[in-house]
Amino acid sequence: MLNKDPLRLPSKDEMAAATDSLLLMNGLLLATSGVRDLTLLTETGERHTLSVPALALRLLGRVLSEMAVGHATTVVAIPGELNTKQAADLLHVSRSHASKLLDEGALPYTRSGSRRLIKLADLVSYKEHRDAANLAAMDKIAAQAQALKLGYE
């Protein structure tokens, strides 16, 4: 069902609807986990309640945000196992750097013939740990800059 629609830009009406929807959904988009119940009202007056994961709501919010400014959007599913190139793309690093992470044991993998496969769960765990370490380092640098009165107050 994903990626079956032709690539096209949203119309002005769709852009306006996306903007209006974002404003109405603002509180829902703040949810970081759990499930939210949404009631849909059809054109014939029927009501349907959907239980929607917060993750899906945030994804919908991102799609609507892009549509609101006239950007084309698509949704791409990510497989449970990734090759080195796919892992590098998700980590925003070069393929050679991703290979180095595998060689150093920083990121676990399995072999399938000559290919190295990384589990998506392992990649997500590595990325969360890396991002937390990066944030801690930036906080430390900011604290040092403030202590030295470098004008970053």
The first and second tokens of residue 67, run together, are 């549509």
pLDDT tens, residue by residue, 60-76 = 999 999 999 999 998 88
Q: What is the DSSP letter of 11?
A: P
pLDDT tens, residue by residue, 75-130 = 888 999 999 999 999 999 999 999 999 999 999 999 999 999 999 999 999 999 99
What residue numbers bound the domain in which 64 lies?
A: 12-68
Note whether 61 and 25 are within 8 A (CB): yes
Residues 94 and 141 in one domain: yes
Whether 2 shows a pLDDT value over 70: the answer reads no
Q: How many whole angstroms separate alpha carbon 72 and alpha carbon 43?
A: 26
Last residue of a domain, one of 23, 45, 68: 68
Q: Is residue 113 part of a domain?
A: yes
Residues 96 and 124 in one domain: yes
Higher pLDDT, 18 or 152: 18
Whether 33 shows a pLDDT value over 90: the answer reads no
Q: Would the pTM of this model clear 0.75, i.e. be above it?
A: no
E strands within 24-99? 35-41, 47-53, 81-82
